[in-house]
């Protein structure tokens, strides 16, 4: 039975005290929430708008500051690409990245926001920077397919060597780093298997704390 559709993180935070009061003592639900809190809430009848799901997952994975940084990086990537798209879909990312890297880049004067007279002189002096050569585009796309590795606390990304090639790459590198260093929420099959093993887990109790300020849930 659907209890209601959550449309934002704030809306979920406002309902959490009641949810915890009603379901906080259910061990199976608690274990499921550890693996994927969205699945736990769906199990008791809640649903989420796409925007709310993305916002809540970002806060669960990265924390408040990290989620804000991810949002800023996405805005920078989308600004460079000229449109938003799913950064976590490998095929979609490669398709959009290929289109961006294959376009001619604006001249330095245009990007710096120089006065129109100076920009006109710059254009008169020569054409805008050409698109990246196909071999470079192919090399960058190949590096994007490669996984980001974390070894001894150090993040190794094959894309790093191309960081100066285009404005879209620097924020994409930061986004990939955050994705690699923060585990994603468990898929449904994995989370359900985790719940089945709850009696074998070294857990005895779990507590939750809600921060409040002026009577409002943070």
Neighbours of 10 (CB within 10 A): 14
Distance between CA 186 and CA 156 in Å, rounded? Answer: 24
pLDDT in tens, 25-68: 898 898 899 899 999 999 999 999 999 999 999 999 999 999 99
Q: Mean pLDDT for the chain?
A: 82
The answer to whether residue 97 scores a pLDDT higher than 80 is yes
Q: Using CA atoms, how far apart are residues 52 and 9, in angstroms rounded to an integer?
A: 6
Nearest 5°: the CA angle 177, 182, 185 is 135
Considering the entire predicted model, what is its pTM? 0.75
- In sequence order, which ranges of 82-206 are alpha helices (DSSP H)? 90-101, 108-111, 116-125, 134-145, 169-181, 188-196
pLDDT digits (tens, 9 = 90+) for 117-137: 444 443 433 334 457 899 999
Nearest of 201, 184, 133, 191 to residue 162 by alpha carbon:
133
Over residues 171-175, the mean pLDDT reads 97
- CB–CB of 165/136 below 8 Å? yes
């Amino acid at each position: 039975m659907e209890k209601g559709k959550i449309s934002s993180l704030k809306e979920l935070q406002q309902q959490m005290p009641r949810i915890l009061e009603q379901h906080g003592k259910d061990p199976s639900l608690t274990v499921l929430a550890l693996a994927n809190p969205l699945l736990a809430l769906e199990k008791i009848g809640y649903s989420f708008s796409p925007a709310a799901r993305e916002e809540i997952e970002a806060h669960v994975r990265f924390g408040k500051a990290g989620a804000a940084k991810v949002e800023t990086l996405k805005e920078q990537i989308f600004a460079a690409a000229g449109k938003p798209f799913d950064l976590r879909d490998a095929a979609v990312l490669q398709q959009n990245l290929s289109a961006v890297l294959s376009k001619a880049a604006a001249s330095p004067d245009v990007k710096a926001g120089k006065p129109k007279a100076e920009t006109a002189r710059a254009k008169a002096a020569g054409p805008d920077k050409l698109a990246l050569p196909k071999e470079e585009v192919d090399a960058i796309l190949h590096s994007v397919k490669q996984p980001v590795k974390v070894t001894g606390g150090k993040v190794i990304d094959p894309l790093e060597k191309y960081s100066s090639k285009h404005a879209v790459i620097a924020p994409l590198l930061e986004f990939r780093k955050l994705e690699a260093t923060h585990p994603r929420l468990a898929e449904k099959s994995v989370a359900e298997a985790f719940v089945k093993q709850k009696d074998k887990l070294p857990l005895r109790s779990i507590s939750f704390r809600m921060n409040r300020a002026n009577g409002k849930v943070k």
